[in-house]
Every structure is written in structure tokens, then in C-alpha cells.
């Protein structure tokens, strides 16, 4: 999401989504203060998610930061994780956030809060006078970058505002990151770097992944356009939740940036394709902070629509939903996607705490029934026990469980880990609410306190409501 006056992308027709094609695109440079437009020509790599698979290598991902947005409806994101950007600009920064967008950003729960089903909901609203409001969040942390010789992975599961056609004109949801030196300066873009993991406008079927860097206008990143890739998410990015991922890989002889949708690679930029000083300027600082926002109007949606947005036909009240944002690192020695952990089902001895443990392989339980490869639904007071789980001499950093929930609205609960007794103090837990159905599986992490050696591990299920709230497919611990 470009920070300055932006020549944005005019997309190819969605009626002919040719995979791995090159499209000639008209780009419009929005002269925001004068209202003028200049037409430029550029090319854009277009891909459909699923057209390519990412580089494959054995790699262990370590979760270093996450927000699962679990909480009651109306609750707001923690200010220990997120900063609420307010108004129309940073203090001393460009007007309208440098993009021409018109909505004032607020911290009003009507604009930004949890939906009670495990999602952050950012909603664009319009009052009776025609003024728009929305919300924009950025992480408190500004140090997200790969470890030396390793890889950074950022992933978010989002649903775009479910609005199309004339009613969607001006909607501009985004999930992205800015270089840390931008915070408090606001004049050093694009040199400090910007990674756009997902941008969508006007309710269209595709999204963009973009790098902004170098100088503007022009420069090695073709500013104000950036270097962009496009995907149709296997058919449409506008049909419910999709997972948007980004990897910054410094494990090889040269760096590489990769963009994914639903695990499929669609855009790659190699360090060697940019001048050395440009790459250094955007990578040699402390790191990046992450951002989530739903803009209304501005250069990008205007350029795509060929007219000023929003219009009188634009319908307020639609939301971008964010299921989770997670950040991982890998220590180096390879590139690409992590391999799945090995599986332990019936141990016949000690289970490996750091290997996948099938939930249905429990040794004892109360209220739990195995249904094929999973257990549940489970509710308050239910528990299961897994005997002889070996943690070795190294405590885990967290655990992760694959869970699903078809619980009704307002019904949620805790999945807890306890050691050696179903009534022991939990060493870790996470909250879960409706995920979209009892077979709508998702991986949810939870931090744990120190534990070593071999123990019986209990999963217990606690809720303030009598209804079942979760099913479990598998779990394991991570170092």
C-alpha cells in the first residue's frame, strides 16, 4: 500500500485469467492535490494461486509472534500488540496517508473489534453527512526480519469485504509491512522498503503482492507502482477466507522475496534483480512493522475504476475479517516451505513431544470420542490423556493444535495443556470459538511454560457455556 502519491495498477480483464501471462496495463498516476492523471504503461506478472508451488526444503519454522484475535464480540485488539492509527495522517506526515484515501481512521469498536468468532473485524462506515470512517492498525514491534542466514515468514488468514460491483467501489483492504525507520520520520519512503502481502480494490476477484523500494518517482522499483505480482487465488480471492503469506529468505548466497496465496507461490523477487544499495537500504535496518487496514477511496481504487471513488452507490458497513496474523523464522540452511512434523499415533513407548500426536490416539479420557482422525466435539469438563510424552532436556516454546469449531455465536472456550494430572495447573492454553464449522480446521498456537522430561500430557477443555465448542485433530510442541 504505497505511502505517497501513487500510480496504481489498472487490471487485466478477469474474464480471461491466463496463468503466468504478461499483461499490458494502464497505470494512473494520481496527482492528488491537483486532481490530474497521467497514463503510463507497465507490465505485471499475473498468476493464479496453485499455478506454482514454492521452493521445497526441509525447514523448521519457529513461531516468534502471533495474534489469533480470539475474544468476545466487541472486544478490541490488545494495545500491547497493536497501535491504532488515527485520523487522516501521521503527525507531520502526508495528508490522507499519502494515498488519497478519504476515510478517517478511528479506534471505535464499530470500526475495529472482534466478531466473537475468532476474527478481527475492520468495518468501513459512512454517516448521514457522507463522511467515511474505518480503521488502520500497525504492530508495536518494528523488528520483524530474518535471523542471520535464515528466513522470515509472515502469514495472515483474511476474508476480503464481501461486496462487489458498484457497491464495492472504493473499498481497499490491505495487509502489509513498512520498514522500521519510517516510524516517526514519514518522509523516507520508499527507500526503507514496503512489502504489500495483500491488496485488493473495488471488490474484484484478484489481489496484489508488491515491493516498494528505492526512490520515487521511478527508480529500480518503478515507483510509484512498485514491483507487483497478481493472483486470482485459484479462481477468486473474493470467495471467503484465504491465507496470504510472504517469505524473506536470506539463507542462500543472495536474498529472495516470495509471495504466496493459500500456500501457492505467485510472485518472486531476487536480490540480484535490484541494485545492491537499494537492497541494502531496505534490509539493513532493524526490521519491519506489520499493518492491517481497510481504506476507502484513493489513487489505487480510483485508477482501477477510472473514476473517483467511493460513489453514491458504494455501500458502507462491509468488513475485512482477519482470522490470525503469525510470524515465523527459520534458522537457515534452506529455502521454502517447512516439512510437516513426523507423526506419532500409538507410541508403544514414549511419544515425541515435538512430533505430531494424533488426537484420536489418546490413552484415556472423559467426554471424548474418536471420530476417524479427530476427537470431539468437546465441551466444558472434557479431557483426554496422552501417556509418556517425552520433552527431552529442552523446554518447548509453544504448542500448536489443529482444531475446528461449529459452536454457536458467543460460545467459546479454552484448550489447555496440563502435565501428569487433569487438575494440574495448565502450562499453556488458547481460546477458540467458531471457525466456520466442525470440519473447518485451523492451526492455533499457544505459549507454554517450561517442561522437560517424560510426562503424561492432558488436554482439558474449559468453557463458561454448556455447549460443545471444539474438535481436535492433532497437536505437537515446538522448540
Q: Verify that 60 and 131 share a domain, yes or no.
A: yes
Position 80 in a domain? yes
In DSSP terms, 322 is beta-bridged to 120, 158
Kindly report, residue by residue over 219-242, the tens digit of the pLDDT: 999 999 999 999 999 899 999 999
Q: Verify that 171 and 311 share a domain, yes or no.
A: yes
Q: Which residue has the higher pLDDT, 372 or 179?
A: 179
Q: Verify that 366 and 324 share a domain, yes or no.
A: no
Q: Distance of CA 39 to CAs 9, 26, 162, 210, 212, Å?
A: 11, 6, 30, 20, 20
Q: Verify that 170 and 36 share a domain, yes or no.
A: yes
Position 2 in a domain? no
As given in the structure block, the three cell numbers for residue 344 are 506419532
Q: Verify that 381 and 247 share a domain, yes or no.
A: no
- Pick from 330, 360, 390: which residue ends a domain? 330
- Pick from 307, 330, 353: which residue ends a domain? 330
Q: Does a cis peptide bond (omega within 30 degrees of 0) precede residue 281? A: no
CA 230/CA 46 separation, integer angstroms: 5
Q: Grade residue 479 by pLDDT with cuts at 50, 70 and 90.
A: confident
pLDDT value at 19 more than 70: no
Position 188 in a domain? yes
Position 7 in a domain? no
CA 396/CA 377 separation, integer angstroms: 27
As given in the structure block, the three cell numbers for residue 278 are 537499494
Grid look-up 495528508 returns 95
Please compute the mean of the pLDDT values over residues 399-416 and round it to a whole number.
89
Q: Verify that 231 and 347 share a domain, yes or no.
A: no
Q: Verify that 303 and 358 share a domain, yes or no.
A: no
Judge contact between 27 and 41, C-beta under 8 A: yes
Q: Verify that 277 and 387 share a domain, yes or no.
A: no
Kindly report, residue by residue over 42-86, the tens digit of the pLDDT: 334 444 344 344 443 446 899 999 999 999 999 999 998 999 999
pLDDT given for residue 372 in this prediction = 63
Q: Grade residue 342 by pLDDT with cuts at 50, 70 and 90.
A: very low
Position 4 in a domain? no
Q: Verify that 307 and 368 share a domain, yes or no.
A: no
pLDDT given for residue 441 in this prediction = 81
Position 270 in a domain? yes
Position 54 in a domain? yes
pLDDT given for residue 203 in this prediction = 97
What is the extent of the structural domain holding 471? 343-478
Q: Verify that 163 and 255 share a domain, yes or no.
A: yes
Give the CATH number, domain containing residue 391.
Answer: 2.60.120.260
Give the CATH number, domain containing residue 148.
Answer: 2.60.120.200
Kindly report, residue by residue over 141-197, the tens digit of the pLDDT: 999 999 999 999 999 999 999 999 999 999 999 999 999 999 989 999 999 999 999
In the chain, % of residues over pLDDT 90: 67
Position 5 in a domain? no
Kindly report, residue by residue over 276-334, the tens digit of the pLDDT: 999 999 999 999 999 999 999 999 999 999 999 999 999 999 999 999 999 999 986 43
Q: Verify that 383 and 325 share a domain, yes or no.
A: no
Q: Phi/psi at 452 (nearest 5 deg)? A: -135, 170
Gap between the terminal Cα atoms of the chain = 34
The CB-based long-range contact list for 282-286 (8 Å cut-off, 24+ gap) reads 282/179, 282/191, 282/192, 282/193, 282/213, 283/145, 283/193, 283/248, 283/250, 283/255, 285/179, 285/180, 285/181, 285/192, 286/142, 286/143, 286/145, 286/180, 286/181
Judge contact between 330 and 57, C-beta under 8 A: no
Q: Grade residue 249 by pLDDT with cuts at 50, 70 and 90.
A: very high
The number of distinct structural domains making up the chain is 2
Q: Verify that 112 and 245 share a domain, yes or no.
A: yes
Grid look-up 507410541 returns 347
CA 476/CA 390 separation, integer angstroms: 11
- Pick from 274, 308, 330: which residue ends a domain? 330
Amino acid at each position: 500500500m504505497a505511502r505517497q502519491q501513487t500510480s496504481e495498477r489498472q487490471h487485466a480483464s478477469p474474464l480471461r485469467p491466463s496463468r503466468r501471462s504478461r499483461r499490458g496495463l494502464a497505470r494512473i498516476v494520481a496527482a492528488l492535490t491537483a486532481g490530474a492523471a497521467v497514463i503510463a504503461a507497465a507490465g505485471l506478472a499475473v498468476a493464479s494461486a496453485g499455478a506454482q508451488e514454492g521452493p521445497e526444503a526441509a525447514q523448521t519454522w519457529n513461531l516468534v509472534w502471533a495474534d489469533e484475535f480470539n475474544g468476545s464480540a466487541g472486544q478490541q485488539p490488545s494495545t500491547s500488540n497493536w497501535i491504532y492509527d488515527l485520523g487522516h495522517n501521521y503527525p507531520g506526515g502526508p495528508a490522507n496517508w499519502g494515498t488519497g484515501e478519504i476515510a478517517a481512521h478511528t479506534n471505535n469498536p464499530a470500526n475495529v473489534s472482534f466478531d466473537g468468532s475468532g476474527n478481527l473485524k475492520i468495518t468501513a462506515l459512512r454517516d448521514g453527512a457522507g463522511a467515511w470512517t474505518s480503521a488502520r492498525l500497525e504492530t508495536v514491534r518494528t523488528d520483524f526480519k530474518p535471523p542471520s542466514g535464515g528466513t522470515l515468514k509472515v502469514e495472515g488468514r483474511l476474508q476480503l469485504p464481501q461486496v462487489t460491483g458498484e457497491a464495492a467501489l472504493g473499498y481497499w483492504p490491505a495487509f502489509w509491512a513498512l520498514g522500521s525507520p519510517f516510524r516517526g520520520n514519514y518522509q523516507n519512503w520508499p527507500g526503507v522498503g514496503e512489502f504489500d502481502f495483500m491488496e485488493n480494490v473495488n471488490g474484484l476477484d484478484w489481489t496484489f503482492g508488491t515491493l516498494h523500494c528505492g526512490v520515487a518517482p521511478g527508480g529500480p522499483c518503478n515507483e510509484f507502482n512498485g514491483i507487483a505480482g497478481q493472483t486470482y487465488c485459484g479462481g477468486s480471492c473474493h470467495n471467503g477466507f484465504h491465507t496470504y503469506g510472504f517469505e524473506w529468505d536470506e539463507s542462500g548466497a543472495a536474498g529472495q522475496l516470495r509471495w504466496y496465496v493459500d500456500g501457492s507461490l505467485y510472485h518472486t523477487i531476487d536480490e540480484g534483480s535490484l541494485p545492491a544499495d537499494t537492497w541494502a537500504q531496505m534490509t539493513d535496518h532493524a526490521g519491519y512493522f506489520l499493518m492491517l487496514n481497510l481504506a476507502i477511496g484513493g489513487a489505487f481504487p480510483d485508477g482501477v475504476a477510472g473514476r473517483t471513488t467511493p460513489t453514491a452507490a458504494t455501500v458502507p458497513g462491509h468488513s475485512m475479517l482477519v482470522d490470525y496474523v503469525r510470524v515465523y523464522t527459520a534458522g537457515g540452511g534452506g529455502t521454502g516451505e517447512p516439512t510437516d512434523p513426523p507423526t506419532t499415533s500409538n507410541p508403544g513407548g514414549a511419544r515425541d513431544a515435538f512430533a505430531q500426536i494424533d488426537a484420536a490416539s489418546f490413552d484415556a479420557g472423559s467426554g471424548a470420542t474418536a471420530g476417524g482422525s479427530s476427537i470431539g466435539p468437546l465441551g466444558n469438563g472434557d479431557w483426554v490423556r496422552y501417556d509418556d510424552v517425552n520433552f527431552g532436556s529442552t523446554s518447548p516454546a509453544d504448542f500448536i493444535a489443529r482444531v475446528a469449531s461449529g459452536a454457536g455465536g458467543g460460545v467459546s472456550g479454552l484448550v489447555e495443556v496440563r502435565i501428569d494430572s487433569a487438575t494440574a495447573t495448565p502450562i499453556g492454553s488458547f481460546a477458540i470459538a467458531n471457525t466456520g464449522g466442525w470440519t473447518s480446521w485451523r492451526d492455533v498456537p499457544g505459549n507454554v511454560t517450561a517442561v522437560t522430561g517424560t510426562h503424561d500430557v492432558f488436554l482439558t477443555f474449559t468453557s463458561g457455556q454448556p455447549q460443545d465448542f471444539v474438535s481436535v485433530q492433532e497437536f505437537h510442541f515446538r522448540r
